[in-house]
Amino acid sequence: MGKLKSNEPSGPVEEKWEKHKFDMKLVNPANKRKIKIIVVGTGLAGASASASLGELGYNVHTFTYHESSRRAHSIAAQGGINAAKNYCNDGDSVQRLFYDTVKGGDFRARESNVHRLAENSVKIIDHCVAQGVPFAREYGGLLDNRSFGGAQVSRTFYAKGQTGQQLLLGAYQAMMKEVERKTVTLHTRSEMMDLVVVDGKARGIITRNLLTGELEKHAADAVILATGGYGNVFYLSTNAMACNVTSTWRAHKKGAFFANPCYTQIHPTCIPVKGDYQSKLTLMSESLRNDGRVWVPKAAGDHRDPQDIPEEERDYYLERKYPSFGNLVPRDLASRNAKEQTDLGKGIKGGLAVYLDFEDSINRLGKDTIEARYGNLFDMYQQITGTNPYQSPMMIYPAVHYTMGGLWVDYNLESSIPGLHVLGEANFSDHGANRLGASALMQGLSDGYFVIPNTIGHYFGSNTLGKVSTDAPEFDQAINDVQERIQKLISIKGSKTVDHFHRELGLLVWDKCGMARDKAGLKEALKRIPEIRAEFWDNVSVPGDGQFNQTLEKAGRVADFLEFGELMCQDALHREESCGGHFRTEHQTKEGEALRNDDDFCFVSAWEYNDGKKAKLNTEDLKFKDVPLSQRSYK
Amino acid sequence: MGETITLTLKVWRQKNASDAGHFEIYKAKDININMSFLEMLDVINDTLTLNNQMPIAFDHDCREGICGSCGAMVNGVAHGPVSGVTLCQLHMRSFSDGDTIVIEPFRAKSLPVIQDLVIDRTAFDRIIAKGGYISVKTGSAPEANDTPIKKKNADSSFDAAACIGCSACVAACPNASASLFVSAKVAHLALLPQGHAEKKRVLAMVDQMDEEGFGGCSNAYQCESACPKSIKVENIARMNREYIKQKVSK
């Protein structure tokens, strides 16, 4: 078992980043244009990194499988972005955002990274406003804030329920500005199929042009992955249909350690599953919990309509159990409590759903105010379900939303492969075992705008990189492997669809590695996943050829999920404790809360690929100096 | 759960940009009315796949109406019969048992078909690259609350910025004009004090729109009614005013 070093600078946590910025090596402006950087992914992290690196003068090549980089799934983030501006005069500070995030993550994040994130949060808002992001404003013309789960201050900036869209368009436009200046070359409908490592360093990627099917070799001085999370391993999730694990998994197979894959976030407020045909789940923003009250009938088996259940026969269980945070407890708690209620048979009409009720808020504030705050979310709910949430309470249930795990990175966001940097949801570093609401946008933009432009220069300044040509044997080897795999997928001509296998895997991991996990279930999943994988490679149907072929694209991604799912379950089995989104039923307090095991598991699990055999464990010890380890309490 | 309907689909199939293309007829049997339109296409595609036929190609991703990837003409209407939604948000409860549904790609010279319902919208990116941004370098921004913005302007700016770039406006326009798309970006930035220094952007963006081969606006207002985000034609008026002002100013 190897020990990993975070490479964070010494000194007090609040001085580390400033000190590090001074200590890092720089690259002369004239030399930057001779350095080529590959960025994969154009969500918040990838687009902001591309724009900022382009501004610095690097030769940036950015890749996305989308037809336009503005389609990346950051666009769907609804609720907001946190920043420690303390505009509300309610006691917020960088220190408090840092504290809330470490605690919210159930003490499984790296303190130094989280503090840097909280520091950068302030600059992100300044930058986005300067870019023209139309955040919500008060009548006086200044920026408005609202509150989110896991915090008792209002520090969330928002643009109706479309904050992710507005922030992504800001980053996309900044990147297009650099495309026009020719510092960024954008490759759309180009999917990364493999990472190329030469002399131990990340030196390029193999891509597939999705329009022609042609495989391409791209060499560079460094590679940045900003390719998002792996939530779609569960098949049904709030992720977009194309979100996948391929680029991080391919990098893992080339030597990048995968950290904490079992830390997955199940978001408490999503529209419940309604049928077998369902292709994805839709989130209802956490911001709704500002004004919505969560409840179930007090008695199991009470199948009356909500308006027929009198007040005294309703259980507002979050307000009852957690009086100080009420409906705004962190996501992991809200989700687990919903599951507990439905397990007790108190779900709506006995099913998998609980109420999110706005009646009191509408009576108190008026329908107009509620409409101004959440109008588009209410409309979306009505479109999908056909019921009007102004008149009857929303029905919600938890769904897979975000993955805290990802490729292991050090303080410089560099993976265990030198030269491979990983940003945003694709890395593991800032959210521990549970991410707080409105913190994903913050992290993606912090990494892309403010961290990587500094740390990647340090990489170039401290390494002598020789020229690498795409004629190198490593490129040929990689492209041949990809070609072989594609040929195999097309030639199987089996009798089951790609979605059939994806659905089967998803149901299995949702059941055994979802909101609650135990040893027996995880062992069962670990036995079953290789069987599904074997059947996939024997019997999947991919019509058509190697040119433009959407089924083929999907098949490659599902094939990688079928390998990755096993590592996720292995990690969940290994971690004999409950923390944040990882809830092992064997480890809970008398009240049913997550019970950490700090003596044995206060570390990051970073798994090393082992030629298809059981992955090897490396660990990074976590030290909590500034936010002392404690049992989380939101009561 | 939920009732089912049976439909006849006439779907545009086109192998590639140079293929002439044609309609194919498919029966969609026992479709649950709670399905989304794209989930209904998933069902058809499953059947095609299992018969080793090419599934119907269509772009889609978020399936919650915000990424702007999906879109098709449904019975001649962009994104189908319900106003204010994208194709992925259209549900089968909007149709009746026995209906025939004609499904075609968005059509415009500047948005060529790639395959079936998939079109090439890179023209939109090229227009944005000509000036659809505020040139602020990372790290150089002033404190956010130093510049108050009238709530009315901030709200109007947001309404214009809500455009998802789906190109329904182009498909619905008799001239295949991209005026609504371009004007939404021009208005979003022109309404904010931060965007004032670069108001000349409108000239380069409109020139690029012309270069891409999009038509001019002749006030048919079809774009506004097709827009899933209810972007208003007032933005086009604003763009035209901005264009003239910038054209005559030094």
Q: Which residues between 73 and 132 in chain A have a beta carbon less than 8 angstroms from any beta carbon of chain B?
A: 73, 75-76, 85, 87, 123, 125-132
Q: What is the pLDDT of residue A183?
A: 98
Indicate yes or no: CB of A383 within 8 angstroms of CB of B89: yes
CB-hemisphere CA count at 13 Å for A496? 16
Chain-chain contact of B144 with A125 (C-beta, under 8 angstroms): yes
Over range A143-153, report the average pLDDT: 90
Residue among B52, B62, B133 whose CB faces A493 most closely: B52
Q: Mark yes or no for CB contact A134/B140 under 8 Å.
A: no
Q: Which residue has the tokens 């507005």?
A: A166
- Of B34, B137, B189, nearest to A55 by CB-CB distance is B137
Q: Where are the beta strands (DSSP E) in A49-187?
A: 59-63, 81-82, 156-157, 184-187
B42–A160 C-beta distance less than 8 A:
no
B 27-66 residues inside an 8 A Cβ radius of A: 32, 34-36, 38-39, 42-43, 46, 48-50, 52-55, 57, 59-66
Residue A76, both tokens: 């769907």
Q: Confirm whether A331 is a catalytic residue.
A: yes
**CB within 8 Å: A71 and B68:** yes
Catalytic residue among A331, A435, A575, A584: A331
Instruction: Note whether B203 and B243 are within 8 A (CB).
Output: yes
Closest-CA distance of chain B to residue A135, Å: 8
Chain B nearest-CA distance from A232, in A, is 12
Instruction: Tell me the two tokens of residue A99.
Output: 């504290």
Task: Give the per-residue pLDDT at B1.
Answer: 45
Contacts of B145 in chain A (CB under 8 A): 85, 87, 142-143
The vertex-A184 CA angle with A180 and A189, nearest 5°, equals: 100
Alpha helices in A516-549 (DSSP H): 519-539
The average pLDDT across A506-512 equals 97
Backbone phi and psi for residue B96, each to the nearest 5 degrees, phi listed first: -115, 155
Q: What is the rounded distance in angstroms from the CA atom of residue A292 to the CA atom of residue A385?
A: 18
Nearest CA in chain A to B3: A275
ipTM surpassing 0.85, yes or no?
Answer: yes
* Contact (CB<8Å) A134/B136: no
Q: Do B55 and A551 touch (CB under 8 A)?
A: yes
- Report whether pLDDT(A34) > 80: yes
Q: Which domains does chain A have, with CATH numbers?
A: 35-266+402-462 (3.50.50.60), 268-399 (3.90.700.10), 473-621 (1.20.58.100)
Q: Which of A127, A166, A383 faces B85 most closely, judged by CB atoms?
A: A383
Instruction: Name every chain A residue with its beta carbon within 8 A of the beta carbon of B188.
Output: 132, 134
What is the model's pTM?
Answer: 0.97
Q: What is the DSSP letter of B57?
A: P
Residues 6+ apart with CB under 8 A from A348: A296, A306, A354, A355, A395
Q: Angle CA(A155)–CA(A161)–CA(A162) in degrees, nearest 5?
A: 100
In A16-131, where do the E strands start and end?
Answer: 36-40, 59-63, 81-82
Nearest beta carbon to residue A166 from set B49, B60, B161? B161
Q: Cβ of B49 and A551 within 8 Å?
A: yes
Output b/e per residue, A54-85; b: 16+ Cβ within 10 A.
Answer: bbbbbbbbbbbbbbbbbbbbbbbbbbbbbbbb
Which of residues 226 through 265 in chain A touch B, CB cutoff 8 A? 240-242
The reply to whether residue B136 touches residue A169, judged by beta carbons under 8 angstroms, is: no
Tell me the DSSP string of A331-384: HHHHHHHHHHHHHTT-SGGGSS-EEEE-HHHHHHH-HHHHHHHHHHHHHHHHHH
Q: What is the pLDDT of residue B41?
A: 98
Does A349 touch chain B if contact means CB atoms closer than 8 Å? no
| B151 contact A CB<8A | yes
Q: How confident is the model at residue A409, as a pLDDT?
A: 98
Are the beta carbons of B158 and A166 separated by less than 8 Å?
A: yes
Q: Which residues pair with A606 in a beta bridge?
A: A259, A618
Give the amino acid at A187.
H
> What pLDDT score does A592 carry?
86
Q: What is the pLDDT along chain B (250 residues), one digit of tens a residue?
A: 469 999 999 999 999 999 999 999 999 999 999 999 999 999 999 999 999 999 999 999 999 999 999 999 999 999 999 999 999 999 999 999 999 999 999 999 999 999 999 999 999 999 999 999 999 999 999 999 999 999 999 999 999 999 999 999 999 999 999 999 999 999 999 999 999 999 999 999 999 999 999 999 999 999 999 999 999 999 999 999 999 999 999 7
Q: CA of B85: which chain A residue's CA is closest?
A: A383
Q: Each residue of A229-275: pLDDT tens digit?
A: 999 999 999 999 999 999 999 999 999 999 999 999 999 999 999 88
Closest-CA distance, A125 to chain B, in angstroms, reads: 7
Confirm if A55 and A492 have CB atoms less than 8 A apart: no
CB contact under 8 A, B144 and A137: no
Burial A112-140 (b: 16+ CB within 10 A, else e): bbbbbbbbbbbbbbbbbbbbbbbbbbeee
Residue (of A256, A249, A246) closest to A208 by Cα position: A246
Antiparallel, parallel or unpaired: β A420-422 and B22-32:
unpaired
Instruction: Flag whether pLDDT at A416 surpasses 50.
Output: yes
Length reported for chain B: 250
Q: Which chain A positions have a beta carbon within 8 Å of B35's beta carbon? A: 275, 277
* Contact yes or no for B91 and A66 at CB 8 A: no
At A591, which amino acid appears?
E
Q: Does any CB of chain A come closer than 8 Å to the CB of residue B16? A: yes
Share of chain A above pLDDT 90, in %: 93
Q: Decide: residue B230, CB within 10 A, 0-12 exposed, 13-18 middle, 19+ buried.
A: exposed
DSSP A451: I
Q: Which of A186, A279, A383 sits opposite B42 (nearest CB)?
A: A279
Rounded distance between C-alpha atoms, residue A401 and residue A266, angstroms = 6
- Summarize pLDDT for A557-602 with one digit per residue, the tens: 999 999 999 999 999 999 999 999 999 999 999 988 899 999 999 9
Give the chain B residue nearest A550 (alpha carbons): B57
Contact yes or no for A177 and B135 at CB 8 A:
yes
Residues 445-504 of A with CB under 8 A from B: 449-450, 453, 493, 495-497, 499
- Distance from the Cα of A502 to chain B's closest Cα (Å) equals 13
> What is the distance between the alpha carbons of residues A509 and A284, in angstroms, rounded to a whole number?
23
Which one of A52, A173, A543 has the shortest CB-CB distance to B138?
A52
Sorted by where each starts, the structural domains of chain B and their CATH numbers stand as 4-115 (3.10.20.30), 121-248 (1.10.1060.10)
**Cβ contact B63–A143 (<8 Å):** no
pLDDT of A366 > 80? The answer is: yes
The pLDDT value given to residue A81: 97
- What pLDDT is recorded for position B2? 62
- Chain A residue with minimum CA distance to B192: A132
Banded model confidence at residue A160, pLDDT cuts 50, 70, 90: confident
Interface check A58 vs B, CB under 8 A: no
Q: How far apart are CA A516 and CA A591, in angstroms?
A: 15
On whether the CB atoms of residues B228 and B85 are closer than 8 A, the answer is yes
Q: Name the residue facing B141 among A70, A130, A169 (closest C-beta).
A: A130
A contacts of B128 (beta carbons < 8 Å)? 172-173, 176
Mean pLDDT on A295-310: 95
Is it the case that residue A327 has pLDDT exceeding 60? yes
Is B205 within 8 Å of B185 (Cβ atoms)? yes
pLDDT in tens, A192-202: 999 999 999 99
- Average the pLDDT over A313-328 and give the result: 95
Inter-chain residue contact B162 with A165, CB threshold 8 Å: yes
Q: Which chain A residue's Cα is nearest to B50?
A: A495
Q: Can you tell me the distance from the alpha carbon of A561 to that of B138, in angstroms, rounded to the nearest whole number?
A: 36
Decide if B61 and A240 are in contact by the 8 Å CB cutoff. Answer: yes
Q: What is the CA radius of gyration of chain A?
A: 24
Cβ distance A126 to B143 less than 8 Å, yes or no, reads yes
Q: Is the pLDDT of residue A213 over 90?
A: yes
- Residue in chain A lying closest to B36 (CA): A384
- The shortest CB-CB distance from A497 to any of B49, B145, B149 is to B49
Tell whether A159 is within 8 A of chain B (Cβ).
yes
Partner residue opposite A275 with nearest CB, options B34, B63, B138: B34
